[in-house]
């Protein structure tokens, strides 16, 4: 039996609806971010049914697939558009985030040729140092963008936590709001969107500290896993178990815990480190680095630990397992965001949908 990703769509819908309700109390719209699960149709549907105001993804391939499958909610492209892909962006995307005027100009030219107006959010770097304009360059970019035909400047946005690990705060998000107001004054018109980050901004929302003026959040991890990795927490009131990875035991033996012979580099160029614990009961499951990011999963059964992995095999110490492990058993694993990202796009992992009208297996999207 292939490894399987068990997906509870009811829990995903519940998480979505709960976050949407919390945000709407403070007049904040929610974009459901679909990149973390490669926009699998059944999960997108659960997010849509949870009441999001729009969808968002960083991959044009996912966006095109969502359009082809009939999802009509507004879609935002979360990665700066490639110059080579502006025609697709204009054809499939309502709004894109941008920080390069050359790209914005190309989007405007492409939109005019198709008789369309494409919406643009200027990304502002408030400290995380990933994408975005430095604050001193924002006014000029806003004025230049507002003058173009074919695009409409609808707002400002920022990203935090994904590169530099900078946490959202009243200070950096307050700066985004103040910059928006100053640009509105310069342009003589109001901007529709102030996009204040993603899941990591929910803690401020919950504590009543999100600056007034932030009116959009882009939520992925919180909806899917009910967690906030940046702030190292489970989000109260949400399900943390909507996804579970299962793999079958294909070998079960007692072996020494210390390899025998001279230690060199493994198949991935690393020098493994081992502690001599004597003989231990070890299980190998049919799951490896070619299937999933091993660092993004953990055994759900107490007493089982991951020793290591190759491309095809995951080696576990099951000596202290709270349940009796036998050949052919399936062992279940929880997933972090990085684990989910890799498992969802793996063609070697079957997707099993639980809840609602599903309860069936689908190995594709």
In 3D space, the residue among 22, 80, 33 whose CA is nearest the CA of residue 57 turns out to be 33
Sequence-separated (6 or more) residues with CB below 8 Å from residue 16 = 30, 32, 46, 47, 49, 50, 51, 52, 223
DSSP per position, 65-93: HHHHTT--S-EEE-SPPPGGGHHHHHHH-
Three-class secondary structure of residue 266 per DSSP: coil
**Angle at Cα 275 formed by Cα 272 and Cα 280, nearest 5°?**
105
3-class SS string, 159-199? CCCCCCCCCCCHHHHHHHHHHHHHHHHHHCCCCCEEECCCH
Looking at the DSSP bridge assignments, the partners of residue 233 are 228
Question: Which value, in Å, is the radius of gyration of the alpha carbons in the chain?
Answer: 23
Contact 15, 223 (CB under 8 A): yes
Sign of CA dihedral 187, 191, 197, 202: positive
**Integer CA distances (angstroms), 146 to 154, 184, 194, 297, 340, in order:** 9, 11, 16, 46, 39
User: Would you call 351 a catalytic residue per the annotation?
Assistant: no
Q: Where are the alpha helices (DSSP H) in the chain?
A: 9-24, 41-49, 60-68, 86-92, 101-113, 135-147, 170-187, 202-206, 221-225, 337-344
Catalytic option among 35, 152, 255, 281: 35
Residues with a catalytic annotation lie at 35
């Amino acid at each position: 039996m292939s490894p399987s990703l068990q997906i509870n769509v009811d829990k995903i819908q519940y998480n979505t609806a709960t976050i949407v309700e919390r945000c709407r109390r403070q007049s904040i719209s929610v974009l459901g971010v679909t990149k973390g699960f490669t926009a699998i149709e059944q999960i997108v549907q659960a997010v849509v049914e949870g009441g999001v105001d729009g969808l968002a993804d960083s991959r044009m391939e996912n966006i095109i697939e969502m359009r082809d499958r009939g999802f009509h909610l507004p879609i935002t492209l979360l990665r700066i558009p490639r110059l080579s892909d502006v025609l697709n962006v204009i054809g499939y995307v309502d709004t894109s985030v941008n920080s390069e005027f050359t790209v914005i100009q190309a989007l405007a030219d492409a939109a005019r040729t198709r008789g369309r107006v494409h919406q643009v959010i200027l990304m502002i770097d408030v400290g995380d140092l990933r994408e975005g304009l430095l604050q001193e360059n924002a006014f000029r970019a806003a004025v230049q963008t507002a003058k173009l035909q074919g695009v409409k400047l609808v707002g400002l946005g920022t990203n935090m936590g994904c590169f530099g690990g900078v946490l959202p705060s009243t200070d950096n998000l307050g700066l985004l709001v103040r910059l928006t107001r100053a640009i509105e004054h310069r342009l003589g018109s109001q901007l529709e969107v102030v996009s204040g980050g993603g899941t990591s901004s929910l803690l401020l929302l919950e504590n009543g500290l999100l600056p007034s003026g932030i009116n959009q959040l882009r939520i992925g991890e919180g909806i899917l896993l009910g967690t906030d990795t940046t702030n190292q927490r489970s989000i109260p009131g949400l399900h943390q178990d909507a996804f579970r990875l299962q793999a079958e035991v294909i070998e079960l033996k007692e072996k020494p815990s210390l390899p025998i012979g001279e230690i060199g580099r493994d198949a991935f160029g690393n020098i493994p480190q081992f502690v001599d614990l004597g003989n231990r009961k070890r299980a190998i499951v049919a799951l490896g680095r070619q299937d999933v990011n091993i660092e993004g999963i953990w055994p759900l059964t107490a007493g089982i630990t991951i020793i290591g992995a190759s491309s095809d095999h995951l080696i576990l110490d099951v000596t202290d397992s709270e349940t009796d492990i036998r050949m052919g058993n399936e062992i279940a694993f929880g997933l972090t965001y990085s684990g989910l990202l890799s498992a969802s796009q793996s063609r070697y992992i079957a997707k099993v949908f639980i809840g609602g009208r599903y309860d069936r297996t689908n190995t594709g999207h």
